[in-house]
Structure 1
Amino acid sequence: MKSNPLFATMCGFTEKIPSYRSFARFDQIMTTNGLWEKARLLVVEYNKGEGVVETNEEAAAVDTSHIEAEATLNKTRKTCSCEGDCDCPKVLTDDNVGVMRKSNAVSYIAHKLSMVCGVRSGLPLTREVFKGNTPDGKTLEPTLETFKTEHPEMAEQLSFILADGIYQTPENQKVTKDVLQAKLVAPINPRNRKDKPTTARGIEKINRYGTPICISGHKMELRGSDRAKGQYIYTCPVFHPNGSPPKIRGVGGLIYTCPVFHPNAKQEGLTCPLANHAECCNGAAQGRVFRIDFDQTPQVDVELPQHGRTFEVLYSARTIIERIFGVLKDGYSLRRVHKRGKQAVEAHVDRCMISMHIMANMAYYQTGKANCGWTRNRLQRAN
Structure 2
Amino acid sequence: MIPLLRNTSQQKPLFHIIHEDDRYLLNTDDAEWFQVLYHFRYERYVGFGVDYYNALHEFNQKQAREREERGVEGEKDARETKEEARQRLLFSRVTMQAEGERGEGVLFEVKREDLSLSGVSPESIAPGKVPFRFGGKKPKCFFALLKSFIGATIMGFPAEPEKVYRLLKSNPSFARVCGFIPRHVRDEYCSEHIPSLRKLEQFDQIMKESGIWARIKVEEVKANITSGIIRKENELVGDTTHYYAYSGFETVVYKDASGKEQKKSQSKVTKRCGCEDKQGCSHSWGLSDDGAGTIVKSGGKMYWGHKASVLGYPRQGIPLDARAIKDAATFDGMTLYPHVKEVFEMYPEIQPSVERVLYDSAGDSDEIKKKFREDLGIEVKVSFNPRRKKEITEDLPRGIDKITPYGIPVCKAGYEMEYQGMRYEHEKFIYQAPKDSDNAPVCRACYHREDCCPNATGGRIINISFDLLPHIDPKDPPMAKRYKAIMSRRPAVERMIKRLKCDFGDDRLTKRGNDSFQAYLDKTMIAFHVLLRN
Q: Which whole-Å CA distance do the structure 2 matches of 1:344 and 1:151 have between them?
A: 24
Candidates 480, 495, 516, aligned match of 1:344? 516
Q: Which whole-Å CA distance do the structure 1 matches of 2:221 and 2:346 have between them?
A: 10
Question: Map of 1:95-106 to 2, 5 A cutoff?
Answer: 95-102=290-297, 106=301
Residues 128 and 142, structure 1, Cα contact 8 Å, conserved in 2: no
1:115 correspondence with 2:310: yes
Deviations 1:197-241 (CA, angstroms, capped at 9, x unpaired):
232222222211122222222221111122333332111124xxx
Distance apart, 1:104 and its partner CA? 5.3
Q: Which whole-Å CA distance do the structure 1 matches of 2:228 and 2:443 have between them?
A: 51
Deviations 1:139-181 (CA, angstroms, capped at 9, x unpaired):
2222222222223332221222222233333333323323432
1:48 correspondence with 2:241: no
Normalising by structure 2, report the TM-score: 0.58
Distance apart, 1:318 and its partner CA? 1.9
Q: Which whole-Å CA distance do the structure 1 matches of 2:367 and 2:430 have between them?
A: 27
User: 3-state SS of the aligned residue for 2:516?
Assistant: helix
Q: Which residue of 1 aligns with 2:277?
A: 84
Which range moved further: 172-181 or 204-213?
172-181
**Matched AA of 1:8:** L
1:360 correspondence with 2:532: yes
User: 3-state SS of the aligned residue for 2:407?
Assistant: coil
1:278 correspondence with 2:446: no
**Matched AA of 2:403:** I
Q: Which residue of 2 aligns with 1:158?
A: 354
Q: Which residue of 1 aligns with 2:239?
A: 63
User: 3-state SS of the aligned residue for 2:490?
Assistant: helix
Distance apart, 1:361 and its partner CA? 0.3
Residues 241 and 308, structure 2, Cα contact 8 Å, conserved in 1: yes
Distance apart, 1:51 and its partner CA? 1.0
User: 3-state SS of the aligned residue for 1:197?
Assistant: coil
Residues 66 and 111, structure 1, Cα contact 8 Å, conserved in 2: yes
Distance apart, 1:84 and its partner CA? 3.2
Q: Give the root-mean-square deviation of aligned CA atoms.
A: 2.6
1:263 correspondence with 2:438: yes
Q: Which whole-Å CA distance do the structure 2 matches of 1:135 and 1:216 have between them?
A: 41
Unpaired runs of at least 5, structure 2: 1-30, 43-143, 145-176, 181-193, 250-266
Q: Which residue of 1 aligns with 2:423?
A: 226
Distance apart, 1:184 and its partner CA? 2.1
Q: Which whole-Å CA distance do the structure 1 matches of 2:39 and 2:364 have between them?
A: 42
Deviations 1:261-300 (CA, angstroms, capped at 9, x unpaired):
x73247xxx6776442232223301222222233432333
Candidates 202, 207, 210, aligned match of 1:25? 202
1:35 correspondence with 2:230: no
Q: Which residue of 2 aligns with 1:237?
A: 434
**Matched AA of 1:61:** V
Q: Which structure has more strand as a fraction of its residues?
A: 1
Which range moved further: 274-283 or 124-133?
274-283
User: 3-state SS of the aligned residue for 2:488?
Assistant: helix
Unpaired runs of at least 5, structure 1: 239-259, 363-383
Q: Which residue of 2 aligns with 1:16?
A: 179
Which range moved further: 66-75 or 159-168?
159-168
Q: Which residue of 2 aligns with 1:302?
A: 474
User: 3-state SS of the aligned residue for 1:36?
Assistant: helix
Q: 1:208 to 1:6 in 2, by over 3 A?
A: same
**Matched AA of 1:293:** S
Distance apart, 1:97 and its partner CA? 0.3
Distance apart, 1:351 and its partner CA? 1.0
1:205 correspondence with 2:402: yes
% same residue: 29
Distance apart, 1:21 and its partner CA? 3.6
**Matched AA of 1:91:** G
User: 3-state SS of the aligned residue for 1:196?
Assistant: coil
Which range moved further: 111-120 or 218-227?
218-227
Q: Which residue of 2 aligns with 1:168?
A: 364
Residues 160 and 183, structure 1, Cα contact 8 Å, conserved in 2: yes
Pairs aligned (count) = 334
Which range moved further: 280-289 or 188-197?
280-289
Q: Which whole-Å CA distance do the structure 2 matches of 1:223 and 1:113 have between them?
A: 39
Q: Which whole-Å CA distance do the structure 2 matches of 1:306 and 1:103 have between them?
A: 21
Q: Which whole-Å CA distance do the structure 1 matches of 2:414 and 2:272 have between them?
A: 65
User: 3-state SS of the aligned residue for 1:336?
Assistant: coil
Q: 1:298 to 1:172 in 2, by over 3 A?
A: farther
Residues 412 and 448, structure 2, Cα contact 8 Å, conserved in 1: yes
Q: Which whole-Å CA distance do the structure 2 matches of 1:195 and 1:104 have between them?
A: 20
Q: 1:148 to 1:278 in 2, by over 3 A?
A: farther
Candidates 132, 135, 148, aligned match of 2:344? 148
Residues 444 and 459, structure 2, Cα contact 8 Å, conserved in 1: no
User: 3-state SS of the aligned residue for 1:110?
Assistant: strand
Residues 145 and 179, structure 1, Cα contact 8 Å, conserved in 2: no
Deviations 1:62-103 (CA, angstroms, capped at 9, x unpaired):
111111221222212125554235255521111200122445
